[in-house]
Chain A
Amino acid sequence: MIIGIAKGPGDTPNEYTFVTPDTERRVKTSEFVYYEADVDGTQRQILGRVIRRIPLRLYPDSFLAHPEVDPAQMAALVGYANTDAFSDETREEADASAELFEIHVSIMGYHDAQLSAFVNPRIPPRIGWKIYLAPDAALAEVLNRIAFDWNMGEANPGGAYVGSLLSRPAFSPQADQPDGVPVVLDVRSITATHMAIIAGTGAGKSYLASVLIEEMMKPINRASILVIDPHGEYDTLEEIRNGSQFSAGRGEGSEYKAEVEVVPQNQVKIRVSDLTFYDMRFLLGAQYDLSPRMEYVLRRVLDQVERDRKGKSPWTKNDLFAVLEFMQNAEDKRESDRNRHSRESGNPSDSDLDEFLGAPDTVGPQSQQESPERVDSQDRGTARALDWRLRSLFAESANFDNIASINLQRVFRPGLCSVLQLNEIDRHQQQVIVAVLLRMVWKARMNAAKGIGAPQDRLDYPVFILLEEAHHFAPANEDVVTTNILKTILAEGRKFGVGVGLISQRPGKLDSDVLSQCMTQFLLRIVNEYDQSSVAAAVESASHDLLAELPALSKGQAIVAGAAVNTPLSIRVRQRITRHGGIEPDAPGEWAKYFSDEARQRREVDASGLPEGPSRGRSNILRKSRDCR
């Protein structure tokens, strides 16, 4: 379909302009158009993306002065339109014909099937060349890395149909002759080189993530996914179990039925022996003051329990407390020994205590100027203080257990989406839980790649971990326990088959190194300017004109850029198959319930002290009488 005529070069060597009346209003920003040119003897369609649309005919301001006066009528009054324009019926038509637009296009090039990329031939259109609107099917073929199966109405294996092109009509696979361009992402790229979903609050992050999970759980992908869900928004994914789209019979290849496992926060267990010194220091330091001396004693105590338990069963909290208690009592013993020896003139013989306390003069740099008695006294106090802090910490959290731990084999399995709910868990504890989990996964995948370790310590299949509120786990300008392991996985995860998806509403608060390692980006509406500039700095592939659309995107609209698509795209996210869980609470509705008759009666009963309300009691009596009959 011819849409306009080339006018000339654009602002940069990579741009051109064309002029169109665009009576059907089809040349939208981010729309795809092409011209035909001879490239090395082959006629090619040189695709380009509309980046700007400038009206060439503007009414004088004074024509717009009266709200009740149509500027088209004013134009007709001074003789612009033909006589038809005077009748109301054809005014719209006459008005449309008055418009003319200069369209700026960024040249992408022709799609080279062998390279699976766009090649810019550097041949701008000559003045007068025809510009065509790219047809839906042809566009779907060149924009998507994985083809869309029009007969089946879903992506081919390895693809994720997440929505349709925003500049075209909404795509519906169920329609007889569907309009629009389906957008299919390359799941292999997403899982290998990671992805990030960045959006402001309420823009549809978890919705888009759930659509992606749905696609990955379909028989065409059968992924192994773990969702770290700090807000408990993903429990509706359980509906995947019953969805016909998520299972396949024998006739469709191997038999398959997607599974979903939601692990509530009270079942999220981390074995204390999996905690490193840094984890414990982070946990204690976040809640209590932790002096350098306490850190030192903590490290010594952990070293001691690990030495004691080497080759045996993992150490427990009790082991930790026992060493601390021993240390406190030993200090008493050593001090009493010293006192006794000093009275009896001999040197203290406390070599057994020094075994884990260290010689007094090696306790710390300051200790060399201090007397041994003073250091010993401090150690005792430090051990007591640490003991109290550790007991408080473990008493507050039921997630750190002596024996139980997250079973990787239970959480990760092809065809299984596990949702780890971390809501109601303190944020610092969430960070430690995630850090431990990521370390375990990383080690298990490395073991599998190297062919070492027991079967339960290996993950034989690639995994994909979706991390909500990623800015809590890799914050900018701050090191938390998860930062290093996340950076390691993002940098080297490709080799070992650990893919990560980061979801954040504050890209400005997310570590820029972490964000830039996510090679596929989903950008939804972002209004905050600081966040916009953070995204612009991190997202290399999306052009500035595309990023300029960020604040104008509506709910459910997104920009996809990076490794999973051939070129940055503005998309309309498809409808979820499962229900959406991240719905805002209806506070006014809840308040209104307070004044309902039922709520009022319940309050009266509660105030009277009766065990049951009269209506409930009556219904019970009726039920009982029915049962008797």
Chain B
Amino acid sequence: MPVIGRIVKSNSHTDYVCQVFAPRETAHDPAPQDYAFGSFVKAPIDPADDRTAVGIVYDTILLNPEYGSLGPRLNPPSDQALLAPDYLVEKATAVGIIIVGLQEGDTVKHGVIPLSLPVDAEVSSLDDDAIRRFHLVGGKLSLGYLPNLISHQSPLVTELGLNVIRQLLSLFPESSDQRLLRTLAAHFSWQARVTPLG
């Protein structure tokens, strides 16, 4: 499970900003698909135990201090790496993460978690198996975090819901789960595609 970045800021108890590691900042550079829109991620609440917050990437922000600095520079861009090395780190990619649940060993809790993430907590992406386990509550498919997710103040929230359900459709092939997910997908699809036009 690749590490994609660290928590640098929070907007609320459930809404965090994660700065994606720059190239060569870690042993394995995170690939863009690791922190794509709708990706499931996790971050340890306390390194001392196994409680992990699970979240979904809901937004991407590109940070570029150079943007707007249109004045002439003495050094050509090729020399800047040598003469002003710390300038490079100011260009960054940040992603917005909404926390949707808590995983503690085999126990899963969906919804708002009571604990918050510490600054600099490492965020890593979830593989398919981990996503599947996170969505099994009492052995049954559950999206108990969905009401909190869609109440989030983001214009992309219905699209996010649709994206999550699409992922789960491929992870839960059982017909009973497929029926439930497709019914939910139809709802979000209508909300995302048709309702805005009406």
Contacts and interface: CB of A to CB of B under 8 A. Distances in A.
Given A62-B190, A78-B147, A83 B137 contact: yes
Contacts of B184: 62, 74, 77-78
B142 interface: yes
B147 A79 contact: yes
A118 interface: no
A78 B186 CA distance: 15
B92 to A, nearest CB: 35
A68 B183 CA distance: 10
A68 B138 CA distance: 22
A78 B139 contact: no
Q: Kindly name the residue among B110, B111, B180 whose own CB sees the greatest number of chain A CB atoms within 10 A.
A: B180
B91 interface: no
Interface in A22-65: 60, 62-63, 65
A66 B187 CA distance: 11
B180 A74 contact: yes
Contacts of A79: 110-111, 142-147
Contacts of A607: none
Contacts of B138: 83, 86-87
A69 B187 CA distance: 13
Contact of B183 (A63, A83, A86, A87): A63
B73 interface: no
Contact of A77 (B111, B139, B180): B180
Interface string A494-533: 0000000000000000000000000000000000000000
Given A79-B110, A83-B137, A86-B137, A65 B142 contact: no
A221 interface: no
Given A74-B180, A79-B111, A86-B137, A65 B186 contact: yes
Interface string B132-152: 000001111111111100000
B143 A69 contact: no
A523 B192 CA distance: 52
Contacts of A73: 180
A60 B111 contact: no
A69 B179 contact: yes
Interface string A562-591: 000000000000000000000000000000
Interface string B161-184: 000000000000000000110111
Interface string A72-86: 011011110001001
Contacts, number: 50
Contacts of B143: 77-79
Given A79-B146, A86-B138, 16 more contacts: A62-B187, A63-B183, A65-B186, A65-B187, A66-B179, A66-B182, A68-B179, A69-B179, A69-B183, A74-B180, A76-B142, A77-B180, A78-B143, A78-B144, A78-B146, A83-B138
23 contacts: A62-B184, A62-B190, A65-B183, A65-B186, A65-B187, A66-B179, A68-B179, A69-B180, A69-B183, A73-B180, A74-B180, A77-B180, A78-B143, A78-B144, A78-B147, A78-B184, A79-B111, A79-B144, A79-B145, A79-B146, A86-B137, A86-B140, A87-B138
Contacts of B183: 62-63, 65-66, 69, 74
Interface string B91-130: 0000000000000000000110000000000000000000
Interface residues of A, number: 16
Contacts of A65: 183, 186-187
B145 A62 contact: no
Interface string A455-470: 0000000000000000
Contacts of B110: 79
Given A60-B187, A62-B187, A65-B187, A77 B182 contact: no
A70 to B, nearest CB: 9
Contact-residue size bin, chain B (C-beta under 8 Å from the other chain): 20 to 34
Sort A-B residue pairs by CB-CB distance and give the 10 closest, nearest first. Answer: A79-B144, A62-B187, A86-B140, A83-B138, A66-B183, A78-B146, A86-B138, A69-B183, A77-B180, A69-B179
Contacts of B139: 86
Contacts of A86: 137-140, 142
Contacts of A68: 179
Nearest to B140: A86
B181 to A, nearest CB: 8
Interface string A236-262: 000000000000000000000000000
B147 A77 contact: no
Interface in A93-148: none
A247 to B, nearest CB: 65
A78 B180 CA distance: 10
A86 B145 CA distance: 16
A87 B140 CA distance: 9
A77 B183 CA distance: 11
Q: Kindly name the residue among A62, A66, A76, A78 whose own CB sees the greatest number of chain B CB atoms within 10 A.
A: A78
A74 B141 CA distance: 11
Q: Kindly name the residue among B146, B183, B184, B190 whose own CB sees the greatest number of chain A CB atoms within 10 A.
A: B183
Contacts of A74: 180, 183-184
A510 B5 CA distance: 86
A73 B179 CA distance: 11
Contacts of B179: 66, 68-69
Nearest to A64: B183
A76 B143 CA distance: 9
A499 to B, nearest CB: 62
B134 to A, nearest CB: 13
Nearest to A84: B138
A503 B145 CA distance: 63
A63 B180 CA distance: 9
Contacts of B187: 60, 62-63, 65
A66 B181 CA distance: 11
A301 B81 CA distance: 136
Contacts of B141: 77
Interface in B183-198: 183-184, 186-187, 190
A84 B143 CA distance: 15
A60 B110 CA distance: 21
Q: Kindly name the residue among B110, B141, B143, B184 whose own CB sees the greatest number of chain A CB atoms within 10 A.
A: B184
Contacts of A62: 183-184, 186-187, 190
Nearest to A86: B140
Contacts of A87: 138
A68 B175 CA distance: 11
A363 to B, nearest CB: 84
Contacts of A63: 183, 187
Contacts of B190: 62
A377 B53 CA distance: 118
A439 B139 CA distance: 83
A220 B87 CA distance: 107
Contacts of B186: 62, 65
A74 B147 CA distance: 12
Nearest to B179: A69
